[in-house]
Amino acid sequence: MPTPRAAVIHDLSGFGRCSLTEVIPILSVMGVQCCPLPTAFLSTHTGGFEGFTFLDMTEELPRAAAHWKSLDLKFQAIYSGFLGSERQIDIVADFIRDFRGPDTLVVVDPVMGDDGRAYQTYTPAMCAGMARLAELADVITPNLTEAAFLLGRDYEPCSGGGDFQRHEARLREMAEALSQNGKRSVALTGASLREGQTGAMCFDARTGRTEAVQAEFVAHPLHGTGDIFASVLTGGLMRGNSLEEAAGRAVEFIHDCAVRTVAQGLSLQEGVDFEPLLGELAR
Ligand code: PXL
């Protein structure tokens, strides 16, 4: 069988482990050929570093896409993440329309923010555009902040309150609302159903079912886990896993990486120390 191929539209941040520095090794070890279209080159990610450089690649994206079109390249998956400008919303939407085949899996990770706030480089217009882009997806992977932005609701964190029954009902309702009447699958990340656990609330458009996937988690914020989640999920779906299986794998992998990272006492900005554990994903 030929190696399946994914076009990945995400940024390249030199230091701090996120986006393409996570997506490429993860997809590769899962047996997927990753073809990156970098939306921007940054010296570091934007979460907690000051003075990072930012090279906007907006002009380059349609040029690279046109070249790929002239080569008649086909992709089994198109996966988008962090975008570098408002104009990139339409460019990525055009890319999806141009390259999507009948069996292409389109994953939009609507990267916009965390902890109730947009990332430094995201404008309100970009966030509104991300909601339009997400409409083209088969699967979306928002965190709770991004889900609130997409639904036009106030952000409500999972922690606190202690009423986990209410949390669970709320997370289920959010995942289903994000599916737009069951049209697309949703893996809502950062969904905690019990103290000391976190994971994802998944609505699977194929089955119409909503299921939670959880793992025990050390209470410690880590950078770049959302990109790992969406990458492992995409790799799993491309291998034929169900949404729940693929999300389960992603949550388990992040759990193992988080334990390792916390044990080493790495700073939050350095991201998740995932490289030594990549072999787990090869199986
Ligand atoms: O992990 C999401 C992400 C991706 N890319 C860049 C970021 C962030 C989050 O801060 O800054 C550049």
Greatest distance between any 2 Cα atoms in the chain:
56
Neighbours of 65 (CB within 10 A): 20
Q: For atom 8 of ligand 1, which residue has the closest CA?
A: 45
Task: Write out residues with Cβ below 6 Å of ligand 1.
Answer: 11, 13, 18-19, 42, 45-47, 82, 111, 119, 224, 226-227
Tokens 């994953």: give the residue.
107
What total of structural domains would you count in the chain? 1
Q: For atom 1 of ligand 1, which residue has the closest CA?
A: 224
Q: Which residues of 188-223 are buried (b: 16+ CB within 10 A; e: fewer)?
A: bbbbbbeeebbbbbbbbbeeeebbbbbbebeeeebb
Q: Which residue range forms the structural domain that includes residue 41?
A: 5-282
Q: For atom 12 of ligand 1, which residue has the closest CA?
A: 45
8 Å CB contact between 257 and 274: yes
Q: For atom 10 of ligand 1, which residue has the closest CA?
A: 47
Mean per-residue pLDDT pooled into runs of 10, the chain (283 residues) = 95 98 98 98 95 98 98 98 98 98 98 95 96 98 97 85 81 97 97 90 98 86 94 98 98 94 89 96 92
> What is the pairing mode between strands 117-118 and 113-114?
antiparallel
Say how far apart CA 186 and CA 139 lie, in whole Å. Answer: 6
Residues listed for the chain: 283
Whichever domain contains 252, its CATH number is 3.40.1190.20
Q: For atom 7 of ligand 1, which residue has the closest CA?
A: 45
Category of 154 on φ-ψ map: left (φ > 0), alpha (ψ -120 to 50) or beta:
beta
pLDDT at 159: 63
Q: How far, in Å, from the CA of 120 to the mean position of ligand 1? A: 10
pLDDT at 160: 53
Q: How far, in Å, from the CA of 112 to the mean position of ligand 1? A: 8
Task: Identify the sign of the CA torsion 142, 143, 144, 148.
Answer: negative
pLDDT at 161: 58
8 Å CB contact between 17 and 272: yes
pLDDT at 235: 98
Substitution site in 41, 119, 130, 141 for ligand 1 pocket (most atoms within 8 Å of beta carbon) = 119
For 223, residues 6+ apart whose C-beta sits below 8 A from its C-beta are 16, 17, 18, 45, 47, 48, 268, 269, 270, 271, 272
Spatial strand order of the sheet with 105-108 comes to 54-56, 33-44, 5-15, 77-80, 105-108, 139-140, 185-189, 197-204, 209-216
Report CA Rg, the chain.
17
pLDDT at 57: 98
The answer to pTM > 0.85 is: yes
